Amino acid sequence: MGSYYDGHQSGPFAGGDRDPGGAGRVQGTAGLTGRPPGFMGLQSASFADFLGSHSPSLLPGRTAPGPGADSRAGEAIRDLPHATTIVAAVCEHGVVLAGDRRATAGSMIAKRDVEKVFRSDEFSAMGYAGTGSVGIEFVRLFQVELEHYEKMEGRSLSLEGKANRLAWMVRGNLGAAMQGLVVVPLFVGYDEEQDRGRIFSYDVAGGPYEEQRFYSIGSGSLFARGALKKLYVDDMPVGDAALACVQALYDAADDDSATGGPDLTRRIFPIIATVTADGFRKLSEAESEDYAQQVVQGRMVAPDGPTAPLRTGQPPSGGHA
């Protein structure tokens, strides 16, 4: 911040003449001193665009090692904590998003209590899989992006608009992803116009891709999605969808070493959030514990979990077929 005060870098209150035809905009100082325009010289509804025009190095992934980096840099990236499995399921008038708590560094457990599910705004949420530190930057920048747009435009983005803005941010991280700093988000929200929950997935080059009914990302996603395929029912109540997501995370942890299951001894349980017409709600630790206890107690009787009916019309079983 010292460069803001000693005059070497234009700061948030950089001066400049008023633009006669700019409806109150302030002209930058580029034409007067050769410096880049000040913060007030750019009126953009996108905070990411604003940040990229002034300090692009602060955007996620812009400090990745170049092609000439030695192998030690690659080892350092490999050993960074990585978040793993996130699941989402559309429910009655909304959507549920849940994530396990484990982060891994190579073959080691880096952290046992990581949070990977976050509020984006009042009617949307996101989780991420990949490099933990970059993922947190994405979450924070996206939160500011949505808030900044609402303040500048006087209205919030549509759900599809939010999904597209996140895709633009993911695409901007492609260079870092090629170096190993991969982050893939899972974005969910309540569509006020359609009165339903929606799920959007991404790849390292962007997206978004709208998913139907349920979806999962991360190292345990294959197992979680397989579990949801057998447990999911259209228009599930919110509570049933949350329970199905915890069952799916348990199955993922059962087969994927990078996914953590409920840790009853340390009292570490999945993070569960719902987004409905009432807005975003993160379940309390006691509520998450209740869902985890239901799953663990059921697995004491049926270790492989509830079974799906073999024939249409049969009720699902809590034990083996």
- The tally of CA atoms less than 13 A away on the side-chain side of residue 277 is 7
Give the integer Cα–Cα distance in Å for 277 and 123: 8
- The tally of CA atoms less than 13 A away on the side-chain side of residue 99 is 28
Residues forming a β-bridge with 127: 117, 186
Tally of CB atoms within 10 A around 266: 10
Unique residue bearing structure tokens 């999945």: 270
- The tally of CA atoms less than 13 A away on the side-chain side of residue 109 is 12
Unique residue bearing structure tokens 């139907």: 212
Task: Tell me the helices (H) and strands (E) count for the chain, helix number first.
Answer: 10, 13
Q: Residue 91: in which H helix or E strand, if any?
A: strand 86-91
Give the integer Cα–Cα distance in Å for 214 and 211: 7
Give the integer Cα–Cα distance in Å for 210 and 195: 16
Residues forming a β-bridge with 191: 196
Structure token digits, residue 59: 């955007």
Q: Which of 29, 84, 104, 274 is catalytic?
A: 84
How far, rounded to the nearest angstrom, does the alpha carbon of residue 132 sit from its chain's CA centroid?
A: 11
Give the integer Cα–Cα distance in Å for 67 and 73: 11
Question: Is residue 104 annotated as part of the catalytic site, yes or no?
Answer: no
> Could you give the residue numbers annotated as active site?
84
